[in-house]
Amino acid sequence: MKILLMVKQVPDVSVSGMEDGKVPRGGPSVLNPQCEYALDAATLLKSEGDEVIAICMGPPSARESLFRCLELGADRAYHLCDPDFAGSDVWATAKTLSRLVLERESDFDYVFCGQKAADSETGQVPTMVAELLGVPQVGACYRLAKGTGSVHAWRERSGRIERYELGPRALVAVERGCNVHRLPSVSDFLNARRKELTVLTRQDLSINRDECGLKGSHTVVRNIHFLSSSREGIKLHLDDTSCAIDTVLRSVRRRGQ
């Protein structure tokens, strides 16, 4: 079984914090937490003969996130690193990632990734990648298990648990997972530096300059701000239904005045 693990490096907001609702760049960076959940899931499913391949698009510093993947169980990695990729929105990012898969690792069984990145939280890249690869996808998963020639995925939606069985050629986006922060051993650290890490530029893929980066992006983030509400909520005691209804009616009448 070949699992492709798509990850992203994000700013470490626990160190740099937020500035006017924006994530500052240039400070310490880490592997995106939800991508690390996907990494944990992939390495736990891996049996003898299976392979986990990490893929990341980002600046030279993103290499550290790939090394963490290699330290914690990935077998090899790809680093998409080129100034032409800078400024990619979700569409340009998905297009570049899927192009690598189709040209270099088209015989994959599964693609694992985090549901969304901590620095933007769009959650759109997994669905776009699945569409470009022409494979089914399940998102917002919190648990994965290996079946007989398949992968079982669980997710929680509207208060109920959904379980899916996915055959080969599918994408799984992980939203939650084990909250234990794993630390690699010295042996893991040294072995990771001996594993294969391939750096690819735009010219290594059949993708034009106007298909990636800023030129290939259809959206631009102008500003980010927090929404606030001046209205106060009301507390209802559902053990007394009639009292709760009276409270709601009084509130509605008062606001209608």
pLDDT of residue 109: 98
Structural domain that includes position 193: 2-211
Instruction: Answer yes or no: is 242 within a domain.
Output: no
pLDDT of residue 223: 75
Instruction: Answer yes or no: is 254 within a domain.
Output: no
Instruction: Answer yes or no: is 202 within a domain.
Output: yes
Structure tokens at 141: 């998963």
pLDDT of residue 174: 95
Instruction: Say how many domains are in the chain.
Output: 1
Instruction: Answer yes or no: is 238 within a domain.
Output: no
CATH number at residue 22: 3.40.50.620
CB 16 within 8 A of CB 28: yes
Instruction: Answer yes or no: is 249 within a domain.
Output: no
pLDDT of residue 72: 95
Instruction: Answer yes or no: is 180 within a domain.
Output: yes
Instruction: Answer yes or no: is 256 within a domain.
Output: no
Residue in 82, 83, 78, 117 with CA at minimum distance from that of residue 101: 78
CB 96 within 8 A of CB 85: yes
Each residue's pLDDT, cut to its tens digit, for the chain (257 residues) gives: 999 999 999 998 666 555 555 555 667 899 999 999 999 999 999 999 999 999 999 999 999 999 999 999 999 999 999 999 999 999 999 999 999 999 999 999 999 999 999 888 899 999 999 999 999 999 999 999 999 999 999 999 888 999 999 999 999 999 987 656 678 999 999 999 999 999 999 999 999 999 999 999 999 877 766 677 777 777 777 777 888 888 888 888 877 65
What are the φ/ψ torsions at residue 134 (nearest 5 degrees)?
70, 35
Instruction: Answer yes or no: is 255 within a domain.
Output: no
Residue in 72, 58, 75, 84 with CA at minimum distance from that of residue 199: 58
